[in-house]
Amino acid sequence: MINDVKQSTEQKMQKSLDALKIDLGKVRTGRAHTGILDHVQVDYYGSLMPINQVANINLADARTITVQPWEKNLIAKVEKAIRDADLGLNPSTNGDVIRVPMPALTEERRKDLIKVVRGEAESAKVAVRSVRRDSNEALKKLLKDKEIGEDEERRAQDEIQKLTDRFVAEIDKALQAKEADLMAV
């Protein structure tokens, strides 16, 4: 029973950390990254489709993404979808290829992005602590139902606290890496 609680706790905390890493990956630095377009939806014959299902997305160089729609008539729709996605990108069409240059980040914009990143990290820490609270409540319920003893409950709570500390440290490490990445010119 205690092992089930601990295992569940670790899995949920890992999911919080993974979600943070995905969110941090979406915060854009000055370099081009094809993942920035993952959430762009294109109107494809009346239904919204992810851009990667209607076009090839590649890196032309460190600061330029190229998007090549599979159908010629989609070029204008894909370009409009990228422009309307509120990513701060300004695509331009060159024949049947759409070029998406990454604008250089100003110092002020970098600081704003760091605030966003810190907020994401704090949300992940809150999620980890929430998982800890739920696990401790599950342990107290086991104790109340006399399925485990007080010593077992105390030891399990200590182990869950160690898990919490480990995941909070990993969140801090991911945050520091992203801040360094954002501040690199």
Structural domains in the chain, sorted by start:
2-27+106-183 (1.10.132.20), 34-101 (3.30.1360.40)
CB 17 within 8 A of CB 42: no
Cα 121 from Cα 185, distance rounded (Å): 22
Cα 78 from Cα 41, distance rounded (Å): 8
pLDDT category at 116 given cuts 50, 70, 90 is confident
pLDDT score, position 21: 87
Read off the tokens for 123. Answer: 């949300």
pLDDT 10s digits, 80-96: 888 887 777 788 898 88
Share of the chain above pLDDT 70, in %: 97
- Looking at 23-182, which runs of residues are DSSP E strands? 41-44, 47-50, 55-61, 64-69, 92-94, 97-101
pLDDT score, position 185: 61
Identify the helix (H) or strand (E) that includes residue 156: helix 150-183
Residue that wins the pLDDT comparison between 176 and 110: 176
pLDDT category at 44 given cuts 50, 70, 90 is confident
* Among 183, 166, 153, 133, residue whose Cα is nearest residue 1: 153
Mean pLDDT of 125-149: 91
Mean pLDDT of 5-18: 90
Cβ neighbourhood burial of 55 (10 Å; 0-12, 13-18, 19+): buried
pLDDT score, position 163: 93
Mean pLDDT of 154-164: 93
Q: Which residues pair with 97 in a beta bridge?
A: 94
**Which residues 6+ apart lie within 8 Å of 176 measured at CB?**
none
Cβ neighbourhood burial of 82 (10 Å; 0-12, 13-18, 19+): buried
pTM of the model: 0.66
Task: Share the mean pLDDT of the chain.
Answer: 87
Mean pLDDT of 113-132: 90
Neighbours of 179 (CB within 10 A): 17
